[in-house]
Amino acid sequence: MSLYASGRTTGISVDVGDGACHSVPIYEGNAFSHNIVKFDVSGGDLTTYLMKMLKERGYEMDRRVAMEMKEKLCYVALDLDKDMGLERGYELPDGQVVTLGRERFLCPELLFHPSGNGQIGIPEGVYSSIRRCDPDTRRFWYGNIVLSGGTTMFNGFAERVEKELVYLSPSAMKV
């Protein structure tokens, strides 16, 4: 659907929602099911991870509050060293203020570097979807990637995916 919404019927649909995440090559409205890559991490997992990091600091909170905090304060870092000291506060419903530092970018970093045996990040998964397609068509796929789902709304998400795909792809390909 995201391809149609962008005016395309052919391309790579990368959907990162709360409960699922996948990369799907679609040609003229038909998914190449053998080229789909499903990821083990989605937006809901990021909320759980943020709750875990905050619990380690002594903060226990409702999932709804953690999800709102994630949506308002977290972002995808393009330069981890530069972002290491950036902190922001979030006022909880009880008036207490929680300050997030590195959690702001470590939370969505799971999308790029998931922990676990054999798990791959989103850029590697998109690259894998494209590599499974006919070599003569790859140039087209690289230029028609559409991101969708609430989790793609993190500041820096699209830029980071593009940056890592440029690194992974052959130099002649335009991402």
Report the pLDDT value the prediction gives residue 2, as an integer from 0 to 100: 85
Q: How far apart are CA 105 and CA 118, in angstroms?
A: 22
Same domain for 92 and 145?
no
Tens-digit pLDDT string for the chain (175 aa): 788 888 898 999 999 999 999 999 999 899 999 999 999 999 999 999 999 999 999 999 999 999 999 999 999 998 777 766 678 999 988 999 999 999 999 999 999 999 876 789 999 999 999 999 999 888 889 999 999 999 999 999 999 999 999 999 988 778 7
Same domain for 59 and 29?
no
Cα-Cα-Cα-Cα dihedral sign, residues 61, 107, 70, 37: negative
- SS in 3 state form for 121-145? CHHHHHHHHHHCCCHHHHHHHHCCE
Same domain for 52 and 37?
no
> What is the total count of domains within the chain?
2
Number of C-beta neighbours around residue 13 at 10 A: 24
In a domain, 173, yes or no: no
29 contacts: CB under 8 Å, gap ≥ 6: 4, 9, 10
Q: What is the CATH number of the domain that holds 162?
A: 3.30.420.40
Report the pLDDT value the prediction gives residue 162, as an integer from 0 to 100: 96
Domain hosting 48: range is 44-109
Same domain for 88 and 48?
yes
